[in-house]
Structure 1
Amino acid sequence: MNYKILCSDLDGTLLTTKSDVSELTIAEIDRIKSHLKVILVSARMPSAMTYLQKDLAIEEQPIICYNGALILDGDKELSSVHIGTQHLQQIYELAEANNTQLGLYYKNEWYVEVDSERVQKEVRYTKTSPVFRPTPETLSDWKGREIGAHKIMLMSTKESADILYPALEEKLGEHLNLYRSNDTLIEVAPKSVSKLSAIKSLLQEGESLEHVISFGDNYNDIDMLQHSGHGVAVGNAREEVKAVADAVTLTNTENGVADYIKKHLVI
């Protein structure tokens, strides 16, 4: 197949370490980027993606942030879908009842109530910094500005998350996308968007999903891999992701994406 677009998830996929792409990845992207559009697709906020775009020298391409809730092309906003304040209030109340902290994201804004090991990990891994303030203040501010969250991160213990996740599903599952990125983290996104819907919106004349080769590792990558012309799971991907992929490459720490490009994308 003559691929025209390469779409890749970042964390656990394209990133060899927790925060950076390897020299091999940079070299392989450099080799193909004049023949394929290379589009980064992530749950991250824009500022946690643009430094990687710069490292890969693909700044002329759009980026898909927050699992498709925000699509940017340089300084131009192509699409933005957020979670409204009514649902944010419900999530906050459920989180409070289950001793769970919220991370609230809108464009390049990131708010948390208190510092924690989890917050500091994200600071290190994404090279971004939050604003510390009470969640009710953020919700009041956003209501006044008539905006909402592109993403919510619920940070908890495994025991609390085990209780909170089904409660969220029951009350808000029909309105929002919910998934557990690990035992202690629940991510919430608008229902109407996904990585796949964002990729579809960027297709231009003469391009279709059949022209897309995609790479991923987690639950939020499943649709993208399933419906791309060729979906590739990295070796460290969840088993459910490997099951729907057309191929499985090496792990992210073994440069799985770059290795697959080197072997299979002969330009």
Structure 2
Amino acid sequence: METKPFLIALDLDGTLLKDDKTISPDSKAIIQKAMAAGHIVCIATGRPFRSSSIYYDELQLTTPIVNFNGAFVHHPKNDEWGTYHKTLDLKVVKEIIETAEKHRIHNMLAEIIDDVYFHYHDEKLLDIFSMGNPNIKIGDLRVSLGDDVTSILIHADEDDVDKIRTYLSEVHAEIVDHRRWAAPWHVIEIIKAGINKAVGLQKIAAYYNIPSERIIAFGDEDNDLEMIQYAGHGVAMGNAIPELKAIASHVTKTNEENGIAVYLKEVLSL
């Protein structure tokens, strides 16, 4: 009897990737075994495509990918699949920049797919964001931005992060969603309201005609919450935040202990 395929969605940092940002040979072998058995594997990440494409290629994927936590969904191997790009209105972006300037911010940056705009020069952040060779511009965002943006990041003092987030919730709740990066970063990430990984994953599931009960999604952070709730098998990594473990249908081993491989091996009998 032919088994119906599952759609397997993989978060990258803290999930598929070990702490050294590599994919373990065990995880890779099991994922490739799953694909050989007819299951569909995709990546759903907060990263832009340029800094997730190396893992897409390493796993030899031929599926659409969810980037920027759902704000950008496309198919790297098939232009006809369509591109879903949900942006933040430039006017709102400029209002947020004006307000952020009143706090002790270290930097702000805006991303439009693979173009990165820095408010101030910043060696440390430049190093992180230069993966995949984006076009980088440095200078006052109120002047340099001429288009709606995919996401904004605000790097602030720890004490100011909550104040800025309170402002975003009070003034722009209808328009933006925001989250705080995991320690040690005091970074606020802002995207269009109502956008998350589950929204992107739904597009991919519809394309392959896979119901939510045959979706296995793995994650570890607060930007995985909606996706883990949406998937029939919402799997939290052993290293996941408590809130994610609380709503997940399963908890597997950590990203350092091949958690993805352990779960897939058992559930898909690989």
TM-score (norm: length of structure 2): 0.89
Structure 1 stretches (4+) deviating beyond 4 angstroms?
A: 126-130
1:108 lines up with 2:128 in the alignment: no
**Cα distance, 1:98 vs. partner?**
1.1
1:159 lines up with 2:159 in the alignment: yes
Counterparts of 1:10-159 in structure 2, within 5 Å, are 10-34=12-36, 35-58=38-61, 60-74=62-76, 76=79, 77-100=82-105, 101-112=107-118, 113-123=120-130, 126-128=131-133, 131-134=136-139, 135-139=141-145, 141-142=146-147, 148-159=148-159
Residue ranges of structure 1 left out of the alignment (5+ in a row): 143-147
- Cα distance change, pair 18–119 in 1 and its aligned pair in 2 (3 A): farther
- Cα distance change, pair 188–51 in 1 and its aligned pair in 2 (3 A): same
Does structure 2 conserve the Cα–Cα contact (< 8 Å) formed by 1:115 and 1:132? no
Q: Deviations over 1:66-103 (max 9, x none)?
A: 11111111162421110010111011112211132212
The equivalent of 1:239 in structure 2 is: 242
Residue 107 of structure 1 aligns to which amino acid in structure 2? I
Q: Could you tell which deviates more after superposition, 49-58 or 9-18? A: 9-18
Q: Output the CA distance in 2 between the equivalents of 1:171 and 1:21.
A: 41
Counterparts of 1:221-260 in structure 2, within 5 Å, are 221-260=224-263
Of 190, 193, 199, the match for 2:195: 193
Q: Could you tell which deviates more after superposition, 233-242 or 188-197? A: 188-197
Q: Output the CA distance in 2 between the equivalents of 1:21 and 1:127.
A: 18
Does structure 1 conserve the Cα–Cα contact (< 8 Å) formed by 2:50 and 2:134? no
**Cα distance, 1:132 vs. partner?**
3.9
**Cα distance, 1:28 vs. partner?**
1.2
Q: Could you tell which deviates more after superposition, 257-266 or 153-162? A: 257-266
- Other structure's SS at 2:181 match: strand
Please give the root-mean-square deviation of Cα atoms over the aligned residues, in Å: 1.9
Q: Output the CA distance in 2 between the equivalents of 1:82 and 1:225.
A: 24
**Cα distance, 1:3 vs. partner?**
4.9
Q: Output the CA distance in 2 between the equivalents of 1:107 and 1:31.
A: 32
Q: Output the CA distance in 1 between the equivalents of 2:46 and 2:225.
A: 14
Does structure 2 conserve the Cα–Cα contact (< 8 Å) formed by 1:11 and 1:18? no
- Cα distance change, pair 122–133 in 1 and its aligned pair in 2 (3 A): closer
- Other structure's SS at 2:47 match: coil
- Cα distance change, pair 107–217 in 1 and its aligned pair in 2 (3 A): same
Residue 78 of structure 1 aligns to which amino acid in structure 2? T
The equivalent of 1:145 in structure 2 is: none
- Other structure's SS at 1:174 match: coil
- Other structure's SS at 1:204 match: helix
Q: Output the CA distance in 2 between the equivalents of 1:119 and 1:28.
A: 35
The equivalent of 1:4 in structure 2 is: 6
Q: Output the CA distance in 1 between the equivalents of 2:4 and 2:190.
A: 35
Q: Output the CA distance in 2 between the equivalents of 1:111 and 1:71.
A: 21
**Cα distance, 1:119 vs. partner?**
4.0
TM-score (norm: length of structure 1): 0.89
**Cα distance, 1:248 vs. partner?**
0.8
Residue ranges of structure 2 left out of the alignment (5+ in a row): none
Identity among equivalent positions (%) equals 26
Residue 177 of structure 1 aligns to which amino acid in structure 2? D
